[in-house]
Chain A
Amino acid sequence: MKKVVRVAAGQGFWGDDLDAPRRQVEGGPVDYLMLDYLAEVTMSILQKQKERDPSLGYARDFVGAIESVLPAVVERGVKIIANAGGVNPPACAAAVKAVAEKNGAKGALRIGVVSGDDLLGRIDQLIAAGHPLANMETGEPLSLVRDRVLSANAYIGSEPIVEALGKGANVVITGRSTDTALTMAPLRHEFAWGAESWDQLAAGIVAGHIIECGAQCSGGNCLYDWRSIPDLANVGYPLVEAKPDGSFIVTKHPNTGGRVSVQTVSEQLVYEMGDPHSYITPDVIADFTTISVARDGDDRVLVTGIKGKPPTDKLKVSVAYRAGFKAVGTLVYAWPDALEKAQLADRILRQRLDRLGLRFERILSEFVGANATHGRLAGDQRKAPEVQLRFGVRGPDRAAVERFTREIAPLVLNGPPSVTGFAGGRPKVEEIVAYWPALIDKSVVKTKVDIIQ
């Protein structure tokens, strides 16, 4: 058994720095490269792509990432774990295999493909069998929006990834795995942690939580002493050096920018946190109030003491459904009296929409430069040198939202003065894909691992 296992994070979301995966495998020793591509919005985009072309529906950036790290995989045995499969892990695996062959690495990859999280084709059968997939927040049954559902995926845990690694995979592709399982699974595999090693499993989850957002724990988006954080242009993505007992170091490769400190790690620990006593995952419930963080030299933070307890018998399901349309238009007003002019434009726009008989579920106007982010807490902004009116509407009727988009530009000539910033043209109408969080009995979700050579 290895004494230390290094898991590096190379992607915090689909759209993250394309060069980060390569830099992570070339900048210093790593055993595993973990790539997290999936946010809730990503699944529905991928589902739409798959509907248009059955060979798509996965994070295509991953194919380029594999190409860039192929030498490390083939020559140095670095293993890759990614939830890049989206709603089509087999197609993702085929694309990865093809790119390996194109690069003369035919047969060098043993790809583990994890499936079983996709529940889209089973929804009606599940509802009929007594699984209402009720909304976790409102309690409403899924049948309410059933005809508008685009995708439905259960968040699955570490087990199928551990299984794939056990079968010798050096690339593991999953669909909707939890972000944290991508980091915990290789540790569980290497250290042979049992399914009831609660404290170690919880430690692996915490390690995953810290690095799953990439550089957000290594100096990116860090408020603490932000001016002093060096060379963000060359920011080092994080990695963990984990030990069998569950303790681990968070660090980054030498000669990279950014910073790993107690403060940068602590900010990431509280990010998107709910009840810290119960960070619920399919494998274990981690208690964030038991985490100890301490400095262990420059750009090294030691994390210890984590406690875990048994998970629930449910899995979280994320259902994406069509929920109407929205559009946001903007105009910029300049000094003097920028805010007052923008406020008048807002009133005029509302009157015109009203006169047109357009009805929306929601209209929201914000004054960027005055109150868009901090509301009334920002105080009196009547002296602001410029203010952007940001006006949004949302509703079920596409035509009404379309009509609204024609009402912004006229204000330039027939509204308050000193207005500019309309060069972007008419606002774009966007279809809203909303999320329906639900729970389902673990027993009905069966994951499967296929190995492709």
Chain B
Amino acid sequence: MKVRLVDIAHARSGDKGDTANVGVIALEPRWYQVLEEFVTCDRVAEHFRGMIEGAVDRYELPNLNALNFLLHGALDGGGTLSLKTDAQGKVYSTALLRMVIDVPDAEARRLDLPAAE
């Protein structure tokens, strides 16, 4: 079943130099496992392919039902050097939430995940 990340998580992002961080938080605690299983580093790197220059790191915070992603080389140099509208990476959060993941039907039903339209 296709599931939109925006239907199962909320997020906030910020910057550190030329790196954007995106914290993704499950809307329901039981959905955290879905984030952990399907929103992998590789999947996020593929999602942002061509938009960021560096690697992607992922950290798990099960205590907050959250994942933290570092998107390196995401801010056109970052801070004051950047020419981007989003020089401080404030809306990489919702850019990540555009992701659609593919969850096996049985698991999606068990966790009561909302299906993408």
**A221 interface residue per 8 A CB criterion:** yes
Expressed in whole angstroms, the Cα–Cα distance for A372 and B92 within the complex equals 11
Closest to B27 in A: A224
Q: Tell me whether B2 is interfacial, beta carbon within 8 Å.
A: no
Say whether, besides A267-B25, A434-B80, A272 and B16 are in contact (CB < 8 Å). Answer: yes
Tell me which residues from 367 to 389 in chain A have a Cβ below 8 Å from any Cβ of chain B.
368, 372-377
Are the C-beta atoms of A291 and B63 separated by less than 8 Å? Answer: yes
A74 to B63, CA, bound (A): 42
Question: Mask for B61-87, Cβ within 8 A of A = 1, else 0?
Answer: 111111010100000110111011110
CB-CB < 8 A to B91: which residues of A? 373-374
Spot the interface stretch: A53-61, A86-94, A273-281, A413-421.
A273-281
Contact of A288 among B13, B50, B61 (CB under 8 A): B61
Residues of B within 8 A of A437 (CB): 17
* Residues from chain B with Cβ under 8 Å of A223 in the complex: 10-12, 93-94
Say yes or no for A451: interface residue by CB 8 A criterion. Answer: no
Enumerate chain B residues within 8 angstroms of A259, measured Cβ to Cβ.
none
Asked if residues B95 and A374 are in contact (CB atoms below 8 Å), the reply is yes
CB of B51 closer than 8 Å to a CB of A: yes
Contact of B16 among A274, A373, A393, A434 (CB under 8 A): A274
A289 to B94, CA, bound (A): 23
Q: Render A387-399 as a binary contact track against B, CB cut-off 8 A, 1 for contact.
A: 0001011100000
Which residues in A have their C-beta under 8 angstroms from that of B16? 272, 274
**A268 at interface by CB-CB < 8 Å:** yes
Closest-CB distance, B12 to chain A (whole angstroms): 4
B25's contact among A270, A305, A373, A376, by CB below 8 Å, is which? A270
Tell me whether A263 and B25 are in contact in the complex, defined as CB-CB below 8 angstroms, given that A223-B10, A373-B95, A435-B17 are known contacts: yes
Contacts of A323 in B (CB 8 A): 80-81
A134 close to chain B: CB less than 8 A: no
Interface size for B (C-beta < 8 A) is 40
Q: Is A366 a contact partner of B17 (Cβ separation < 8 A)?
A: no
Known: A289-B61, A374-B91, A374-B95. A328 touches B25 (CB 8 A): no
What's the least CB distance linking B52 to chain A, in Å? 10
Q: Tell me whether A273 and B95 are in contact in the complex, defined as CB-CB below 8 angstroms, given that A291-B63, A394-B81, A432-B81 are known contacts.
A: no
- Residues of chain A within 8 A of B109, CB atoms compared: none
**Residues B12 and A271 in contact, CB atoms below 8 Å apart:** yes
Contact A374 B68 (CB under 8 A): no
Residue with the highest number of chain A CB atoms closer than 10 Å, among B13, B59, B80: B80
Chain B residue with minimal CB distance to A372? B85
Residue in A263, A276, A376 whose Cβ sees the most chain B Cβ within 10 Å: A276
Known: A270-B23, A376-B51, A437-B17. A364 touches B95 (CB 8 A): no
Question: Which residues of B (7-24) have their CB < 8 Å from a CB of A?
Answer: 10-18, 21, 23
Number of interface residues of A (CB under 8 A): 49
- Asked if A393 meets B23 with Cβ closer than 8 Å, knowing A270-B61, A375-B95, the reply is no
A267 to B94, CA, bound (A): 13
Contact of B59 with A328 in the complex, beta carbons under 8 Å: no
Q: Which residues of B contact A364 (CB under 8 A)?
A: 76, 83-84
Q: Does A110 sit at the interface, judged by CB under 8 A?
A: no
Within 8 Å of chain A (Cβ to Cβ): is B98? yes
- The contact string, 1 if C-beta is below 8 Å from chain B, for chain A 103-135, is 000000000000000000000000000000000
Q: Tell me, yes or no, whether A293 is within 8 Å of chain B by CB.
A: yes
Most B CB contacts (10 A, CB to CB) among A268, A293, A368, A377 go to A377
- Whether A276 contacts B10 in the complex (CB less than 8 A), given A41-B80, A372-B86, A373-B95, comes out as no
Among B18, B21, B81, B85, contact of A373 (Cβ-Cβ < 8 Å): B85
Q: What are the residues of chain B within 8 A of A266 when measuring CB–CB?
A: 25, 64-66
Are B68 and A273 closer than 8 Å at their CB atoms?
Answer: yes
A271/B14 in contact, CB under 8 A? yes
Query: Could you tell me the distance in whole angstroms from the C-beta of B58 to the nearest C-beta in chain A?
Result: 11
Q: Does A52 contact B (CB under 8 A)?
A: no
Quick check: A40 and B64 within 8 Å, CB to CB? no
Complex CA gap A328/B80 in Å reads 13
Known contacts A137-B17, A263-B25, then 12 further A-B pairs from the complex at CB < 8 Å, ordered by chain A residue: A223-B93, A267-B25, A272-B15, A273-B59, A274-B21, A275-B59, A326-B83, A328-B83, A373-B85, A375-B51, A377-B98, A434-B79
Which 10 pairs across A and B sit closest by C-beta, in order of nearness? Answer: A270-B23, A392-B83, A272-B14, A364-B83, A267-B12, A224-B10, A372-B85, A374-B95, A223-B10, A375-B51
What are 18 contact pairs spanning A and B, CB under 8 A? A223-B11, A223-B12, A223-B93, A224-B10, A267-B10, A267-B12, A269-B23, A270-B23, A272-B16, A274-B16, A363-B83, A364-B76, A364-B83, A372-B85, A374-B98, A375-B51, A432-B80, A437-B17
